[in-house]
């Protein structure tokens, strides 16, 4: 079956690669052939290799826009086109987004991890994943442990992994522990502890390695640590200036591959 009648499949594929990310669900519903092509991992790898992806920023916003209000919804901002898109609400979160949750993009999906209950203040271990191809949310495996807040979080598209580092545990104790979440397998795995307890730290993947920068804790505020996921070894940096170049190279988060 031809992807587009009258066109060679390689030309038709080039047309599909140029579809805007917010139109993927409609395109995938056109026919089985389009659905099969768009849902293949190779489709997104080729789209990225061709330079057709665009940076998209995910923002948790309040509906009335007043400062200090709790987040109600997720909005995507596409800097290149200057357009905003609202993400459908999480079905299980009728009261709004979890407060202080972490939002990370990985390939054609967006993950909302943890946070606290808007009404009770209870720490949440929940994981919700939004798929841009189906325009639907699904529930992921809960984050292990008794709960953590203000943790660092970053995703590696190449590894298909989200890493959670540190955070504030029950009893207001900063944590050293780190966890890895395999999105495709919906499975959490423990990683080696960091050298310092950290919460409110900044995390980033860069060139295949996971970097943790700073902390609200005084002793770790000016330090960095780097995790190699292959060797599962941490390396302690000297000063926070060591990774200053990383922030300049990763201004935007590409949530659609």
* pLDDT, greater one: 154 or 249: 154
Residues 198 and 102 in one domain: yes
| Domain match, 90 and 134 both | yes
Question: What separation in angstroms does the CA of 152 have from each of 180, 181, 224, 237, 256?
Answer: 12, 13, 13, 17, 21
pTM given for the model:
0.81
Q: How many domains does the chain have?
A: 2
**What is the number of alpha carbons within 13 Å of residue 98 lying toward its C-beta?**
24
Same domain, 15 and 108: no
Which comes out higher in pLDDT, residue 151 or 52? 151
What is the arithmetic mean of pLDDT over 26-37?
87
89 and 42, same structural domain? Answer: no
105 and 41 within one domain: no
Residue 76 lies in a domain: no
Q: pLDDT (tens digit, 9 = 90+) per residue, 151-195?
A: 999 998 777 899 999 999 988 899 999 999 999 999 999 999 999
> What's the pLDDT tens digit per position in 117-150?
877 888 999 999 998 888 889 999 999 998 899 9
pLDDT over 70 at 208, yes or no: yes
């Amino acid at each position: 079956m031809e992807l587009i009648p009258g066109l060679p499949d390689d030309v038709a594929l080039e047309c599909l690669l140029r579809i805007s990310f917010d139109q993927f669900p409609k395109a995938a519903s056109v026919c089985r052939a389009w659905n099969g092509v768009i849902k293949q991992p190779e489709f997104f790898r080729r789209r990225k290799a061709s330079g057709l992806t665009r940076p998209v920023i995910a923002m948790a916003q309040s509906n009335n826009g007043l400062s200090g209000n709790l987040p109600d919804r997720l909005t995507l901002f596409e800097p290149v086109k200057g357009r905003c898109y609202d993400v459908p609400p999480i079905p299980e979160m009728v009261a709004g987004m979890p407060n202080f949750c972490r939002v990370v993009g990985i390939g054609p999906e967006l993950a909302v991890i943890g946070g606290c209950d808007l009404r009770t203040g209870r720490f949440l271990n929940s994981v919700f994943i939004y798929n841009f191809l189906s325009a639907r949310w699904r529930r992921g495996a809960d984050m292990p442990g008794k709960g953590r807040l203000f943790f660092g979080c970053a995703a590696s598209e190449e590894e298909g992994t989200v890493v959670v580092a540190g955070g504030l545990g029950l009893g207001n104790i900063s944590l050293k522990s780190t966890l890895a979440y395999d999105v495709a397998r919906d499975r959490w795995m423990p990683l080696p502890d960091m050298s310092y307890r950290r919460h409110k730290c900044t995390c980033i993947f860069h060139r295949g390695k996971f970097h943790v920068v700073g902390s609200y804790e005084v002793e770790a505020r000016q330090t960095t640590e780097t995790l190699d996921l292959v060797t599962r070894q941490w390396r302690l940096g000297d000063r926070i200036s060591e990774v200053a170049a990383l922030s300049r190279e990763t201004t935007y988060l590409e949530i659609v591959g």
